[in-house]
């Protein structure tokens, strides 16, 4: 029941700055491949109170209001495009990455983020990117200067938007071309080298959050995975990024429902900063609301409270830890408006352990994408999808 990136057949042909003749639009699913539906129906606004976020949110601390205050630290949207070409086996075709920036013939990701901050009150964006794109397909290599310049342009647009936080997310499912990090694939040293290179670039910016890895899955040994995560954390801190948040993902597509039961939470409790503390080490969890929790259907059937969020909140509280929900969402339908609003209200009520949520996804996704949260622009006016307007936007 979780998240995964399965490439499907929605193709959007467009010439790019690299001279590509075509760029493939992707559908994203979670743990069970599904079939995308046609453009979802528009849902009317619901009366559930929209989420509220702290106007003074800053990623350098972990203190949040006590449970029940209804104030989340973060609310935001994924800005997708640099992850295009990535699949759940960790194969990421570098040439298929499509920067969601107009200067690279993509969507106006900068304009989207400016709108989301100014008009909606969002304050965090997740910026997924494939490992192969960052190093131009060289495992263990340094950051490719030209490719990183493109990705950094999106990061800088996020910073300039006025958002409180920008998540640098490596979107490889704990793999490189089918092989698992630290378990037969890239070594922990190679993984650490990647994060040393990235963290060195952003060590001086408190708005950066480091997303160690998107949605690990089918990991044979969760304790070995915790060692890989530890290698990344140590590399980030030793590169000079000593105070920013770092997100720690678990197995099973880092499902909020199974984070504790599959051993991910207990194993990741052992991950520490070099000084032995766990300050600003935040658990990274995902959860969708459709029938198979895959994020491939327009309709939602659950708010996930009893099966996922309530048990996880209890566990986090008992261990004095916090989590950030970096992927969630649904179709632009009445059922998703109902259930997602309920899920967010529960997270608000437990804001001592949940820092917030990040919806999936805008950026280069076409409006017909089943989980599309991409706003449309008419001149200087932006219009949100119905689900963003009804539930996700904190206003």
Q: For this structure, is 373 an active site residue?
A: no
CA angle 113, 115, 120 (to 5 degrees): 105
Contact 354, 323 (CB under 8 A): yes
In whole angstroms, what separates CA 77 from the centre of its chain?
8
Cα gap 35→198, rounded to integer Å: 35
- 359: preceding bond cis by omega (within 30 degrees): no
Out of 215, 257, 342, 373, pick the active-site residue.
215
CA angle 50, 55, 61 (to 5 degrees): 115
Residue 264: closest CA among 309, 308, 216, 306: 216
Decide if 150 is catalytic.
no
Q: In whole angstroms, what is the distance from residue 336 CA to residue 325 CA?
A: 17
Pick the catalytic residue from 145, 179, 206, 327: 327
Q: What are phi and psi of 354, to 5 degrees?
A: -105, 120
* Nearest C-alpha neighbor of 34 from the set 63, 5, 67, 65: 5
Given the structure tokens 């995308």, which residue do they identify? 36
In sequence order, what are the residues at sequence separation of 6 or more whose Cβ sits closer than 8 angstroms to the Cβ of residue 353? Answer: 67, 312, 313, 316, 317, 321, 322, 323
| Tokens read off for 124 | 């965090």
Distances 210 to 6, 59, 206, 282, 333 between C-alpha atoms, Å: 24, 11, 11, 10, 32
Give the Cα separation of 261 and 259 in Å (integer). Answer: 6
The dihedral built from the CA positions of residue 237, 241, 242 and 244, taken in this order, carries a sign that is negative
Helix (H, G, I), strand (E, B) or coil at 324: strand
Q: For residues 307 and 258, is the Cβ–Cβ distance under 8 A?
A: no
What is the gyration radius of the CA atoms in the chain, in angstroms? 19
- Known catalytic residues are 215, 327
């Amino acid at each position: 029941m979780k998240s995964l990136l399965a490439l499907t057949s929605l193709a959007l042909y467009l010439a790019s700055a690299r001279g590509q003749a075509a760029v493939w639009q992707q559908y994203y699913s979670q743990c069970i491949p599904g079939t995308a539906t046609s453009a979802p129906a528009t849902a009317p606004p619901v009366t559930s109170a929209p989420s509220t976020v702290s106007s003074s949110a800053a990623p350098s601390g972990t203190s949040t209001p006590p449970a029940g205050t209804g104030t989340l630290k973060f609310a935001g949207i994924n800005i997708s495009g640099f992850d295009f070409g990535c699949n759940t086996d960790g194969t990421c075709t570098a040439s298929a990455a499509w920067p969601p920036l107009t200067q690279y013939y993509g969507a106006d990701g900068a304009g989207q983020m400016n709108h989301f901050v100014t008009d909606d009150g969002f304050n965090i964006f997740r910026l997924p990117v494939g490992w192969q794109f960052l190093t131009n397909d060289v495992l263990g290599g340094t950051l490719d200067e030209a490719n990183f310049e493109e990705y950094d342009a999106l990061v800088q647009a996020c910073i300039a938007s006025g958002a409180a936080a920008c998540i640098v997310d490596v979107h490889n499912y704990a793999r490189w071309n089918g092989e698992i990090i630290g378990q037969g694939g890239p070594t922990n040293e190679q993984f650490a080298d990647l994060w040393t290179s990235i963290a060195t670039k952003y060590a001086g910016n408190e708005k950066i959050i480091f997303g160690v890895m998107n949605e690990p899955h089918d990991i044979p040994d969760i304790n070995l995975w915790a060692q890989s995560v530890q290698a990344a954390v140590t590399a980030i801190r030793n590169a000079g990024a000593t105070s920013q948040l770092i997100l720690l993902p678990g197995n099973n597509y880092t499902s909020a429902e199974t984070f504790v039961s599959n051993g991910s939470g207990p194993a990741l409790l052992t991950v520490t900063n070099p000084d032995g503390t766990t300050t600003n080490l935040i658990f990274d969890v995902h959860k969708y609301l459709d029938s198979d929790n895959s994020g491939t259907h327009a309709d939602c059937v659950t708010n996930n409270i009893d099966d996922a969020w309530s048990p996880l909140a209890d566990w986090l509280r008992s261990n004095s830890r916090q989590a950030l929900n970096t992927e969630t969402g649904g179709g632009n339908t009445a059922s998703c408006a109902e259930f997602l609003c309920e899920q967010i209200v529960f997270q608000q009520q437990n804001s001592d352990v949940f820092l917030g949520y990040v919806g999936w996804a805008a950026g280069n996704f076409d409006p017909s994408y089943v989980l599309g949260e991409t706003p449309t622009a008419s001149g200087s006016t932006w219009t949100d999808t119905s689900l963003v307007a009804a539930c996700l936007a904190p206003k």
